[in-house]
Amino acid sequence: MNTSSAQVVICGTDTDVGKTIVSALFVQGLGATYWKPVQSGTENGGDRQRVIDLLQLPKEKWRKEAYAFSAAVSPHWAAEQDGQCIDPDQLKLPTVDGPLVVETAGGLMVPLTRNWIQIQQLERWRLPVVLVARSGLGTLNHTLLSLEALRRRTIHCLGLVINGPHHPDNALTLKQLGDVAVLCELPPLEHLNAAALATQWHVQNVKAKVETEIIRFQASR
Ligand SMILES: Nc1ncnc2c1ncn2[C@@H]1O[C@H](COP(=O)(O)OP(=O)(O)OP(=O)(O)O)[C@@H](O)[C@H]1O
Ligand SMILES: [Mg+2]
C-alpha cells in the first residue's frame, strides 16, 4: 500500500474533535473515496453531505452509509431508537479504485451495539488509523489513553492530526510520550473550504509524512 492505494480510518479522541474536517483534508489530499459507515444524526444531512459540500465531491468519490440514524446520540442507542441494530457483517469495507478514507463515529470506545464497540470494528478492518486530537487542555489524557487502547489491540496508528489553536507544548509532549508522528497541526480555519484545506495539506507536507508512516506500517506487518 502506498498513498495511491492507501486505506485509512479517521478516528477521534472524542466526538466533535474534527474527524469530518480531517477526513475532507485527506480525501482531497489523497484523491480518496469517502465513507462514513455509521452516521448518527441525519438532521443536517450528516457528515457525508458536509464532505460533499466542502469539496464538491463527485458521486464516484463517496459511498453511502451502511447505517444512518436520525438521533444524534451514540450509534447503539440511535439504532435502537430507529428500531434497528447494527450488524458488524454489514460494515465490510467497500471496494474502491484508489485510496479510501473511512470516518468513524465518535471515539474509539463508542458502542455500535450493546456488545460491539468501535475499536472492535477497527480490529476487524485491520486498517491503519489517523487519530484526530484536540490541541488544547485535556488532549494529553484523551490522546494518550486512545493510543494505549489502539496499541493494546495492535491497531497501527499512522499518526496524529492535532486540531485547533496552536498550543506551545502539547504536540511535542504527545509525540514524545505517545511515541507517535504528528502528521498535521490543523489551525482553526476562518474560511473553511477546499482551498484552505489544500493549503494546509501542502504547507505542512502531509502527504510525505503519510507516505513515510505507511512504509513504517507495512514494515511492521
Ligand atoms: N480546523 C477547523 N477550523 C474551523 N472549524 C473547524 C475545524 N475543525 C473542526 N471545525 C468545526 O468544528 C465542528 C466539529 O468538527 P467535525 O464535524 O469535523 O467533528 P467530528 O469529530 O467529525 O464530529 P462527529 O463526532 O459528530 O463526527 C464542525 O462545525 C467543524 O466545521
Ligand atoms: Mg464527523
Tens-digit pLDDT profile for residues 91-145 = 999 999 999 999 999 999 999 999 999 999 999 999 999 999 999 999 999 999 9
Q: What angle do CA 98, 100, 101 make, to 5 degrees?
A: 150
Tell me the pTM.
0.98
Q: What are phi and psi of 50, to 5 degrees?
A: -60, -45
Name the one residue in this structure whose C-alpha cell is 497541526.
185
Residue 77 has pLDDT above 90, yes or no: yes
Measuring from each residue's beta carbon to the nearest atom of ligand 1, which residues come in under 6 Å? 12, 15-21, 47, 106, 163, 186, 188-189, 192
d(CA 68, ligand 2 centre) in Å:
13
Q: Report pLDDT for 1.
A: 62
d(CA 24, ligand 2 centre) in Å:
10
Report all structural domains of the chain as residue ranges with CATH numbers, in order of start: 7-33+100-220 (3.40.50.300)
- Respond yes or no: is residue 36 known to be catalytic: yes
